[in-house]
Structure 1
Amino acid sequence: MNINYTLLDILTNNVKVFNKDNGAFEPIMITNGIEIPMIQRDYAQGRLNDKTKFIRQQFLKDIYEVLKCNQDGKLKLLNLDFVYGFIENESFIPLDGQQRLTTLYIIHWFLAFKDDIDFKRYGLQLFNYKTRQSAKEFLKSINIVDNQIKLKKECNNDFKKLSESIKNQPWYNLKWNDDPTVKGFLQTLQDTIPLFSDIYFTTLVENKPLCFNFLKIDEYGLGDNLYIKMNARGKSLSDFENFKASFENIISKNKATSEDFIKKIDGVWLDAFWGYALKSLPELEVNENVENLTKKCDFLLLEFIKKITEYLYFKDDIGNNFEFTNVNLERIYSSEENIRLLIKFFELIAPNEYSKWDLYFDEIFSEKHRYNRVAINQSELNFIMKIFKGESFSHFENLLFFGWLNFIFRNEKTEVSDDLRDFLRIIRNFINNINQKNKTELNTELRTDYYHDIIDTIQNLEIVNPYANLISKEFSNRQRYIDYEIIKYEIFKSDSFKKELLFKFEDHGALRGLIFNFDFEVYNSNEIKNIVTNFYGMFNHLEYQDIIRLILCFGNYSVKVGYSNLGEFRFFGQKQKWHRILASPDGEIKDNFRELFKVFSKEEITNWNDFVEKMVSNNISQYNGDWLWYCMQPKYKSILDHPIYTKDYNGRIEIFYNQSLNSYHHNPFAFWFRYHSPIEIRNTINEAESCAQYSNFSRLHLKNGLQLEQIDSTWQIYNLNEDFKSEIIFYDEIKDCFVLKCENLVEDLISQINVLYKSKVTLNQ
């Protein structure tokens, strides 16, 4: 059995099965592809009744969503359950899975046809039906190359009526219209075409997103009796039952340990998970069909085993892409230690009631800062409930789960303690440090190929007084991230109040545990309390434009976030995007906050607006002659609504809301005039033209055709009639335009707007 076999694996003779005699996986010969046997029914998923139509369309939609995710670069797998059968004349004869295999084949056939794929390369001509001769002939005909060429030429890349076009071909036998399999094939094909038109055949090949359990029944000694019994009771073995049968064989080499596992998985653990299943299902669903309870119990047991196996896979550094396959199970559980860890996990989990796990992680994690909790900046993180619900884990969640798992394994109990919280806090901070700069954000760089090294770090942490024991340990992997925690510990090690304050500080959503850009060593507890209170107050009471102005009081801290034809992109910070600034690995913010914290430490600030304006007034002079002088002024601070800017070698500035040359951008002063000048001034402005896109610099456009470009402390005016006379606006022969020299680029132009608006223009420039 292997859950990662695909339709193409069978059609291209690429299947191996486990030989229990020699303990190895060996290839089997399937050179003649797949043949649906006579004992099977016709292809039923293509029927037109409402129930079948609903099931078919939902199945197609599920497959499409998985393929689209993979095509968009997001790895996602869809397990299509169990397919089993036997080999006869080097053909695979499915006893279960016929309907799913046929629907999969139709999707493969259409995508290969659409994308001009060589059918023989992927064995797509090797899918046959024996149920009726007409179905066999039909499948043969649609796979003849000449027939496909003519059909595609007739469609001319418009596949909407492909099914009808097939029926109109000279090789199409009208008697096939009465064959249920042919009718179903064409109907499913017709439903497939509009949904899968943007999917490429290569998506089916890369990552193998559509997979199923494959079992050659005689390899497991099950024989035809199994097929008869399973069909007699109307269901196939569950995934868990199949897993258990093969897993018991894998671990049987360690007799005592395997007997312990087998006894408990069918005993006390089963009882516990039966209780979990009962609590997790609605009462009505259980009462209507008790089989739902059995399925849920099996599902929970298997999901927990998968998750623990994933941890062991990365702990043992087996690879970077975990798959729950027999090959990996052999590798992992050939180690008796790993079998014991799996047993230990169940023994730690099973004694507790469902209600405990429902609330357990609320004692550890919180979304935002809470006393004696680890803030995770997301609404919920209940590992056990996520497994109960079959939900996927992000890399962040996976690694925190591995940390929790490692702690309870070593501690041999699940009780929540301060040591557990500190242990997970260190891990949170460590993995949040593994990030990369991406424009105006710091995005996680966590990947599965980092998992083993991170688990090594986790295993090197002590579970008793984890912070205190950091100093005595050596961490070969990303030591500097541990050094950040050691520096923090040195500050609070003899003062529990400082510890509480620093934890509150680093739990802020804009920091997420990363506080290496801030210095606390020189402050006492009361000063740190003021700093932390004021830091939270700054973000709670000020708009981001005023936060920028406050931090600019200590110098231009903007961070470089990219390049463009207009110059370097730089970023001041923005609502929900302060993490990029505050946790910048380049430390641009350090000097500014060193000075700001000196002010913050003195007392708790109560009137934030007055505080900001006083700070700006005391520090604005450093920006005299610079465009940032205007940003600091309350009247013009709206320029910071667009907190990204570029500056070229001539000093020309363009401001952006989003970092993209495709978006509209503005000269900061043109922006202010366009959106924030007095209404009588705005009435003279051609707003639609007073911005730019791509690699163009913007100008201020008046409705009479004049264009004004800000260069340094001047406005250069284009299209102004050469007869224009003014005492303060002069014609510059070198620049070949009129120039207004300014002491204040806003106020001086406001006084001249009406004069310019009423002047004569020429459109020669």
Structure 2
Amino acid sequence: MSTTLHSFIDIFDANFGDDENPVILKKILIPIIQRDYAQGRRSPEVERVRKRFLEALYDAITGQPITLDFVYGDINEDSVMTPLDGQQRLTTLFLLHWYAAKKENINNDKIVFLKNFSYMTRYSARDFCAELVKFTPSFRRDIKEEIIDQPWFPQDWNKDPTVSSMLVMIEAIDDKFKNVPDIWERLENKAISFYFLPIKDMGLTDELYIKMNSRGKPLTTFEHFKAELEREMRTMDVSLAKRIMAKFDREWMDLLWIYRDAGTGTEADMITDDEFLRYFKFICDVICYRKGDSAQDRSYDEFDLIAFYFSHNNPEAYSNIITLESFFDCWCDMPKLGYNSPTDFLESVFAYGHEEGKITVENRYLLNIFDDCVHSYSDRSGRKRQFPLPRIVLLYAVCIYLQNYQNIERDQFIRRLRIINNLILNSEDQISDRSDRNRMQAILCATEKVMVTGAFDDSIDNNFNANQIQEEKEKMVFVETNPDKAEVVYKLEDHPLLRGQISIIGLDHLDYGERFESLYACDWDKVDCALAITGNYWQTERNKWRWQFGSSAVPSAWIELFHKSANTGYEQTSEVLLHLLSLTSEFTDDYLDKLITDYISDCEWKGVYPWNYYYVKYNEFRPGKFGKAANGDGEGRGLYTFWIMCTQQMCSTSSYMPFLKLADEEHLSIDHYGNRLIYDDLYVESKENCFLVKRNDNNEIVDTVPIDQNGEGIDVENRINKLKDYIKSHFDQA
């Protein structure tokens, strides 16, 4: 028997035989083995499917006709068709035709066929269909509630999943079509049709049903997703749809099979649905960013993404499908590159820490960035992406190489990827997809240019950090002219405190690379002191009242110092660091201890106490965790009036002025951020060249403790000891 096109109306009484052996379809019965009607379920996934299906039916009624997917069925000798596939669509069409007939008062002679659609699953579903056809709603109240209130509707029918789903669908149909006129006329004119393939004389065994239908359980989100995507592609290009869907089931399935969530022993762990959808979302973001759009407030629902980028109504849909294909296909060519899988390939590219010929990745990330993507893309912890924008750019760079590997040598790939990685690590503020500050289009464009050609395109504005771009250009020239120094450059780049930016040391001092490594293998508190002895190495932040020092424990403080930013004093930091590195070829804790001890002894012997002396002599002066201090005069000059911060951004009750804390911690006022010593109705505060004693009630100065200084404004007496003596003589006695 051949496939024929039908509407839900004309399929009844249609002849599917020939003149000698007519086969007239009289009834449609959903068999016992079929699952319950599902399109009316309340789950989010089904609600999404229901909404989209009704939208398609609405468009057909109010606009262009639609042809639905195939319906397969067995027609027996009693002219009863039992669907093998298409139950859900047929049931929804039954409900839509019932709704249109009752809403528009269609003559009963025209709707007799509705009596010939029923369910054999449960008596409740069968009887509900029969009673529904006889019932005419008032359409003046909630249609679902009106049906439930009928005397022919027993309350236990609500427990039948098919009946309850039908009620939900009727309610949804009413919401969608209540204001649509002439629905029945459009249905009679075949606004909605489907192809029917009758299967005669095969018999309806359970085995046949299971083989052909495979609907023993509800369709997964991924199955709905594939069907929707295929429908859109077929509307544009049937051959394209066939090619892409074949890859879904073969090459791409094989690609993702090793990344399925195996390990828990559950059935869900043995499929690749989630991995497909996560990588699909990555590709959709690439399409989004390439267009210059932001994904910030855009939906990540996979069906919405199909509508955004792959709908036949989108003029760019075809090219977007080609993009989708290329970003999947590029991972399927691993054997041509000499690798068994993406995992093998990526493990040859990335490493934790410096390895020759590899790119350094932070320990918090997986080396296998593809694995990371297919297991975490679009996931969030609060507002934080599990697969952040910098990782998107890095994965994009790898994909661009894989799409062009025939024209790029392996060493070129690694060198170019290193450049991109350096740019990523130093462009945290620039890599943004905020709608008011979206640089992702330019960043992806710049990334592709570097990966394909090995050169920068200066016409691309507002992409990566400008300072880092300039450094990468300089290193590119340097490595080309000094290939023997390339590995020295790469090793220095990979130091965890430098992260790709080496200008703090510079290409002219590459011989200091090993010294730098040995210095920061020492106790960082001793390194901090050694730098402070050498010079004023800290930097003033853009707000001018906060200073950045090193830290005894937190790398971010040093990273902040060693990377160009809006802070002032970077050049001074570099100068001080280089001077310290020039002192010896190898640093040890013992060497640093001697530097510190000699400096303190020299200051005390000379009777000169610069700010650096206090910083090195007393632990309380060193900011510790975050390396943050606030200066006293707001202009970066208050070396004797600064206070220690214990947070990254603001002063707190844990903050303190170190001179006061060391003089008398017991009387330090936490209510004043540690800037006062409180003694009953008096308090002491620190100034550049003295301590002032004031009244609490009116801030009147009642005494001054002067500090002797030389002509350069440097202490020539230990002000901490002097304040201690003053407190002892004036407050302790009292």
TM-based fold match above 0.5: yes
Structure-2 residue corresponding to 1:576: 555
Structure-1 residue corresponding to 2:272: 297
Q: Secondary structure at the match of 2:439?
A: helix
In 2, distance between residues paired with 1:717 and 1:387? Answer: 62
Q: CA deviation at 1:308?
A: 2.7
In 1, distance between residues paired with 2:617 and 2:225? Answer: 68
1:73-98 CA distances to partner (integer Å, 9 max, x unpaired)?
xxxxxxxxx9x96775599xxxxxxx
Would you say how many aligned residue pairs link Structure 1 and Structure 2? 538
Decide which of 263, 270, 289 is 2:246's aligned counterpart: 263
1:9-60 CA distances to partner (integer Å, 9 max, x unpaired)?
999999854889799999xxxxxxxxxxxxxxxxxxxxxxxxxxxxxxxxxx
Structure-2 residue corresponding to 1:708: 684
Decide which of 409, 415, 418 is 1:425's aligned counterpart: 418
Seen in structure 2, the aligned counterparts of structure 1 residues 571 and 319 have a Cα distance that, compared at 3 Å, is closer
Structure-2 residue corresponding to 1:735: 701
Q: CA deviation at 1:222?
A: 9.6
Decide which of 697, 718, 721 is 1:744's aligned counterpart: 718
In 1, distance between residues paired with 2:702 and 2:560? Answer: 43
In 2, distance between residues paired with 1:637 and 1:384? Answer: 47
Q: CA deviation at 1:372?
A: 2.4
In 1, distance between residues paired with 2:286 and 2:64? Answer: 24
In 2, distance between residues paired with 1:597 and 1:426? Answer: 25
Mapped contact 2:685–2:692 kept (Cα < 8 A): yes
Query: Amino acid of the residue matched to residue 716 of structure 1?
Result: L
Decide which of 606, 614, 619 is 2:595's aligned counterpart: 614
Seen in structure 2, the aligned counterparts of structure 1 residues 506 and 662 have a Cα distance that, compared at 3 Å, is same
Alignment of 1:543-558 (within 5 A): 543-544=524-525, 546-547=527-528, 549-551=530-532, 553-555=534-536, 557-558=538-539
Structure-2 residue corresponding to 1:383: 369
In 1, distance between residues paired with 2:514 and 2:695? Answer: 55
Q: Secondary structure at the match of 2:311?
A: helix
Please identify the structure whose Cα radius of gyration is greater.
2
Decide which of 626, 645, 651 is 1:656's aligned counterpart: 645
Structure-2 residue corresponding to 1:310: 285
In 2, distance between residues paired with 1:7 and 1:639? Answer: 60
Seen in structure 2, the aligned counterparts of structure 1 residues 19 and 486 have a Cα distance that, compared at 3 Å, is farther
Q: CA deviation at 1:334?
A: 4.5
Q: Secondary structure at the match of 1:493?
A: helix
Per the normalisation by structure 1, the TM-score is 0.58
In 2, distance between residues paired with 1:546 and 1:504? Answer: 21
Q: CA deviation at 1:616?
A: 9.0
How high is the sequence identity, in percent, across the aligned residues? 15
Query: Amino acid of the residue matched to residue 532 of structure 1?
Result: G
In 1, distance between residues paired with 2:515 and 2:142? Answer: 71
Alignment of 1:429-440 (within 5 A): 429-436=422-429
Q: Secondary structure at the match of 2:353?
A: coil
Structure-2 residue corresponding to 1:96: none
Seen in structure 2, the aligned counterparts of structure 1 residues 719 and 475 have a Cα distance that, compared at 3 Å, is closer
Mapped contact 2:534–2:580 kept (Cα < 8 A): no
Q: CA deviation at 1:669?
A: 0.9
Structure-1 residue corresponding to 2:655: 665
In 2, distance between residues paired with 1:8 and 1:246? Answer: 15
In 2, distance between residues paired with 1:180 and 1:418? Answer: 66
In 2, distance between residues paired with 1:309 and 1:629? Answer: 55
Seen in structure 2, the aligned counterparts of structure 1 residues 552 and 383 have a Cα distance that, compared at 3 Å, is same
Seen in structure 2, the aligned counterparts of structure 1 residues 719 and 333 have a Cα distance that, compared at 3 Å, is closer
1:717-759 CA distances to partner (integer Å, 9 max, x unpaired)?
4689xxxxxxxxxxxx983236364621112234455434541
1:542-561 CA distances to partner (integer Å, 9 max, x unpaired)?
32464265056333532225
1:419-443 CA distances to partner (integer Å, 9 max, x unpaired)?
222222222222333334xxxxxx9
Root mean square deviation, CA, Å:
5.2
Structure-1 residue corresponding to 2:499: 512
Structure-1 residue corresponding to 2:228: 246
2:572 is the counterpart of 1:591: yes
Q: Which runs of 5+ in 2 are unaligned?
A: 1-38, 66-88, 103-140, 161-190, 199-208, 379-386, 709-716
Seen in structure 2, the aligned counterparts of structure 1 residues 663 and 511 have a Cα distance that, compared at 3 Å, is farther
2:365 is the counterpart of 1:371: no
Alignment of 1:169-568 (within 5 A): 221=194, 233-252=215-234, 253-270=236-253, 272-273=254-255, 275-276=257-258, 280-282=261-263, 284-285=265-266, 289=267, 293=270, 296-317=271-292, 320=295, 321=298, 323=300, 324-330=305-311, 334=316, 336-350=318-332, 356-377=341-362, 378-392=364-378, 393-411=387-405, 417-436=410-429, 445=432, 447=434, 449-463=438-452, 466=454, 469-470=455-456, 474-478=459-463, 480=466, 481-515=468-502, 517-518=503-504, 520-523=506-509, 528-529=510-511, 531-544=512-525, 546-547=527-528, 549-551=530-532, 553-555=534-536, 557-560=538-541, 562=543, 568=545
In 2, distance between residues paired with 1:254 and 1:240? Answer: 22
In 2, distance between residues paired with 1:560 and 1:368? Answer: 30
In 1, distance between residues paired with 2:529 and 2:346? Answer: 37
Structure-2 residue corresponding to 1:114: none
Deviates further, 316-325 or 503-512: 316-325
In 1, distance between residues paired with 2:394 and 2:48? Answer: 36
In 1, distance between residues paired with 2:585 and 2:332? Answer: 50
Seen in structure 2, the aligned counterparts of structure 1 residues 483 and 717 have a Cα distance that, compared at 3 Å, is closer
Query: Amino acid of the residue matched to residue 548 of structure 2?
Result: F
In 1, distance between residues paired with 2:221 and 2:51? Answer: 25
In 1, distance between residues paired with 2:615 and 2:541? Answer: 20
Q: CA deviation at 1:318?
A: 5.5
Mapped contact 1:365–1:373 kept (Cα < 8 A): yes
Structure-2 residue corresponding to 1:645: 629
Q: CA deviation at 1:485?
A: 0.6
Seen in structure 2, the aligned counterparts of structure 1 residues 644 and 262 have a Cα distance that, compared at 3 Å, is closer
In 2, distance between residues paired with 1:633 and 1:292? Answer: 58
In 2, distance between residues paired with 1:602 and 1:491? Answer: 26
Mapped contact 2:615–2:621 kept (Cα < 8 A): no
In 2, distance between residues paired with 1:755 and 1:484? Answer: 59
Seen in structure 2, the aligned counterparts of structure 1 residues 383 and 20 have a Cα distance that, compared at 3 Å, is farther
Query: Amino acid of the residue matched to residue 710 of structure 1?
Result: S
Q: Secondary structure at the match of 2:440?
A: helix
Q: Which runs of 5+ in 1 are unaligned?
A: 27-81, 92-124, 135-175, 182-217, 437-442, 675-684, 721-732, 761-765
1:99-123 CA distances to partner (integer Å, 9 max, x unpaired)?
xxxxxxxxxxxxxxxxxxxxxxxxx
Structure-1 residue corresponding to 2:15: none
In 1, distance between residues paired with 2:276 and 2:52? Answer: 33
Per the normalisation by structure 2, the TM-score is 0.60
Q: Secondary structure at the match of 1:421?
A: helix
In 1, distance between residues paired with 2:569 and 2:432? Answer: 21
Query: Amino acid of the residue matched to residue 712 of structure 1?
Result: E
In 2, distance between residues paired with 1:446 and 1:521? Answer: 33
In 1, distance between residues paired with 2:56 and 2:610? Answer: 71
In 2, distance between residues paired with 1:541 and 1:592? Answer: 19
Mapped contact 1:507–1:513 kept (Cα < 8 A): yes
Decide which of 684, 688, 692 is 2:670's aligned counterpart: 692
In 2, distance between residues paired with 1:299 and 1:576? Answer: 36
Q: CA deviation at 1:660?
A: 2.0
Mapped contact 2:690–2:704 kept (Cα < 8 A): no
Seen in structure 2, the aligned counterparts of structure 1 residues 483 and 474 have a Cα distance that, compared at 3 Å, is farther
Q: CA deviation at 1:457?
A: 0.7
Query: Amino acid of the residue matched to residue 522 of structure 1?
Result: D
In 2, distance between residues paired with 1:244 and 1:380? Answer: 29
Mapped contact 1:545–1:641 kept (Cα < 8 A): no
Mapped contact 1:11–1:126 kept (Cα < 8 A): no
Q: Secondary structure at the match of 1:368?
A: coil
In 1, distance between residues paired with 2:705 and 2:299? Answer: 67
Alignment of 1:80-119 (within 5 A): 88=96
